[in-house]
Amino acid sequence: MSALSDLQATLDPSRKSWIESANDSTNDFSIQNLPFGIFSDRHNDARRVGVAIGDQIVDLVALQAAGLLNVAAKTDVFARDTLNDFIALGRDAWRSVRIQVSELLARDTATLRDDAALRARTLVRQAEAQLHLPVQIPGYTDFYSSKEHATNVGAMFRDPKNALLPNWLEIPIGYNGRASSVVVSGTPVRRPNGQLKLPDQERPVFGACRKLDIELETGFVIGAGNALGEPIACEHAEAHIFGMVLLNDWSARDIQQWEYVPLGPFNSKGFATTISPWIVTLDALEPFRVAQPVQEPQPLAYLRHDGAHAFDIRLEVTLRPHQAKQASTISRTNFKHMYWTMAQQLAHHTVSGCNTRVGDLMGSGTISGPTDDSCGSLLELTWNGKKPLELSEGGTRTFIEDGDELTLAGWCQGDGYRVGFGACVGEILPAQR
Amino acid sequence: MSALSDLQATLDPSRKSWIESANDSTNDFSIQNLPFGIFSDRHNDARRVGVAIGDQIVDLVALQAAGLLNVAAKTDVFARDTLNDFIALGRDAWRSVRIQVSELLARDTATLRDDAALRARTLVRQAEAQLHLPVQIPGYTDFYSSKEHATNVGAMFRDPKNALLPNWLEIPIGYNGRASSVVVSGTPVRRPNGQLKLPDQERPVFGACRKLDIELETGFVIGAGNALGEPIACEHAEAHIFGMVLLNDWSARDIQQWEYVPLGPFNSKGFATTISPWIVTLDALEPFRVAQPVQEPQPLAYLRHDGAHAFDIRLEVTLRPHQAKQASTISRTNFKHMYWTMAQQLAHHTVSGCNTRVGDLMGSGTISGPTDDSCGSLLELTWNGKKPLELSEGGTRTFIEDGDELTLAGWCQGDGYRVGFGACVGEILPAQR
């Protein structure tokens, strides 16, 4: 069932769906995509596994109940409030389910297309559904793998002539983040309070963050973990990845600047991290694989892999002030600029023997491109507030203001179709008094 | 049932048990202690909740089945492979169970004492039991709260004249650790491989850690979490703590030194963290509450609490080389030296709005005392290898060698009894080739 030719067929640019909205070349959820998520709706508030297609969601619980989904394992992995049990079945199972759903949704397949009652039971309009955090996340790690971002930050806060720290070109630098506060797109985010060190005062003051920022990132979700003491080799690492999401690593720059020495960011990041609700499988991203940037010096042996391991994913950030009609695009960039690949990140993470588990989330680090307007943070876009951004509606911005709604978007552009992530949105609420 | 007088009775130094080993003034598990853990044994390999007493374990599943334990909630919290469901019942439930167990084990209570068959069903000898990781840990945070430790490290690697960084006296500095690799005492620990930057080479090399170290710490376990956006006030923080463990934050100093700038330690810590198997409740520690060190400057308002919030816990580290008969004590110190309290750590962790969950583990940071022989790491004890330690058997040590077994011990010394943690042990295996 999961033969390579079936997998290839799901990626065929000419495949169309009888769900017409999926065939719109600007819809994130083409039949080539078929990402997995967790949803509920007003007719059925049980959380369950779904697949996005056009403006619809395929309910996998209902599909299986109708006898249309063959899963060669315990049968109850879809009536769950997270994807973890499904993911734990392994790659053959993910592939097989995606292939079966693709075939059912293909224009020439009559099963659902011609049966209104069956369609009513198995499809839910996205507009009527609520999306939930797709995975239970046992561990969240955030990397720092954009050379442009690391260079910008180093130039701003350290030495413009030696902006990259000596270890940066050798190590896919990462740190452990706070898994408990990872929230799904749409969850409002409260501006954090914390210690701020103002330049004119000897001691820090306590108050609301004044330099609230985004970090435009992607994240990957572990599909197969590794045991303690058994590293994942770089050349096998991609087989351990279930899929990708967009990730906004909200950052309180003033809190970060004061707290981060010597053990790294803590309260400046731990208040919230937002991810997009649909996990796009690596299978769906395969046609968009491209070469990563040349790495010089050549990495140590445990970080080497042959072939292309980057992905051409277009990324965009918009900001919409409170009650504004129009959102302003403040950044456009691409995931393919990342210096370190996901495979290298995972190989490095585990080379010490550290174990990973199904559902672990790994953030890419802020994704900044080579130009001034392709930076993944306001810190860089406004050069720490020195160069305010002009919005098309709502004035200027140095950092985020209360009521601002920030949206990350990301998609691979195929020939006439998109493999996209859906929005990763968060509105900022005022700090607690 | 959980009236204050019943709680007080469990702490009465004159209370003795009919299990005579518990009355030995050097046994960690007096009737005043009664810590909770997860065990199995060769007659019953199901993991379940137990309470340590002397050289025995009380099987709470068996106790409840015998009708001797009244728990005012769902009844199946003890037949579990972690304590999380029991902990989630809340403080009244922990107290009530501890009080009931104390009364059943008290010398004057005949119920079990005089019923051999009942004793056979409800008691397991520790020597015949296997102890497991007591909690599922959703998040692991490690603090850095010993002023002596931070001063030693600062003097060694930065500036002896300004050893403490400017933020240290204002912030209970902490960082997110790796929860997946927290293991229970007795689990062998493999020496990690990683990037090492040798002074005579321009680029790092890959290899086995050459400066493997311990960090002597305690940890506390969250008993009641907080919702995202709802900080825990310092004066209420202790009510959120279920209890404490010993914690060895194994550290690869050479990997750490190269990787930690600017985002903190990662592979140098993530390969393993060992905790002791029994969680000692804050109730049992109450008689050992003492004043924390004077904090100057006075912390910001959100970090203030009235009264005494430190605990007088004696700590000891021993090292036993492979096949040596004798272990050498390499450090003796006390938890009461810690500058920042657990309450302050938790208040700081959540002041940004960060949420915590039942089972979260919070490490104290390396506990170093005021004297040269009271340091909690080999880094400090040998001053980064410059002053080797003389062992009573097995030569000298700068850092840990393969086959070394490191043991942390900790206890509160009452008048004729101990409230102790049991050992926190790990033997180092050679690095993977």
Cα–Cα distance, B411 to B317 (Å, whole number): 12
Q: What pLDDT band is residue B1 in, cutting at 50, 70 and 90?
A: very low
Q: Does A304 touch chain B (CB under 8 A)?
A: no
By C-alpha distance, the chain B residue nearest A301 is B206
Q: Which helix (H) or strand (E) holds A253?
A: helix A253-259
CA angle A327-A329-A333, nearest 5°? Answer: 150
Catalytic residue among B149, B309, B348, B349: B149
Query: If you average pLDDT over residues B362-368, what whole number do you get?
Result: 98
Residues of chain A neighbouring B195 (CB-CB closer than 8 A): 167, 170-171, 300
- Residue A287 touches chain B, beta carbons under 8 Å: no
C-beta neighbour count of A68 within 10 angstroms: 18
Query: Measured between CB atoms, does A181 come within 8 Å of chain B?
Result: yes
All residues at 6 or more sequence positions from A162 whose CB lies less than 8 Å from its CB, including other chains: A154
Query: How far is B261 from B268, CA to CA, in rounded Å?
Result: 12
**Domain coordinates of chain B in residue numbers?**
3-132, 140-429
Q: End-to-end alpha-carbon separation of chain B, Å? A: 57
Minimal Cα–Cα distance from B428 to chain A, Å?
12
pLDDT range class, residue B73, cuts 50, 70, 90: low
State how far the Cα of A104 lies from the Cα of B91, in Å rounded to an integer.
52
Annotation says A149 is catalytic: yes
Tell me the DSSP string of B137-155.
-S-EEEE---HHHHHHHHH
What residues 251-280 of chain B have any CB closer than 8 A to a CB of chain A? 252, 255, 258-268, 270-272
Asked if pLDDT for residue B5 goes beyond 80, the answer is: yes
Which candidate in A149, A240, A305, A348 is catalytic? A149
pLDDT value of position A74: 65
State the Rg of chain B over Cα.
22
Q: Report the amino acid identity of residue B73.
A: A
Q: Which of A39, A108, A98 is nearest to A70 (CA)?
A: A98
Does the pLDDT value for residue B76 go beyond 90?
no
CB atoms inside a 10 Å sphere around CB A293: 13
Q: What is the pLDDT of residues B9-39, one digit of tens each?
A: 999 999 999 999 999 999 999 999 999 999 9
pTM above 0.90, yes or no: yes
How far is Cα A83 from Cα A81, in angstroms, rounded to an integer? 7
Task: Give CA angle at B58 (B56, B59), nearest 5°.
Answer: 130
Distance from CA of B392 to the nearest CA of A (A): 32
pLDDT at B75 over 90: no
pLDDT category, B72, cuts 50, 70, 90? Answer: confident
Q: Confirm or deny that B371 is annotated as ligand binding.
A: no
Residues of chain A with confidence (pLDDT) below 70: 1-2, 73-75
Q: Which residue of A has its CA nearest to B168?
A: A259
ipTM above 0.85, yes or no: yes
Is B383 an 8 Å CB contact of chain A?
no
* Domain A140-429: CATH class, spelled out: alpha beta
Looking at CATH, the fold of the domain delimited by A3-132 is given as SH3 type barrels. (2.30.30)
DSSP codes, A206-257: EEE-SSEE--EEEEEEESS-B-TT-PPPGGGGGGGEEEEEEEE--EEHHHHH
CB contact (8 A) between residue B183 and residue A267: no
The predicted pLDDT at position A1 comes to: 46
Is residue B74 predicted with pLDDT exceeding 70?
Answer: no
Burial A169-183 (b: 16+ CB within 10 A, else e): bbbbbbbbbbbbbbb
User: How far apart, in whole angstroms, are the C-alpha atoms of residue A75 and residue B297?
Assistant: 61
Pairing of strands B361-363, B140-143: parallel
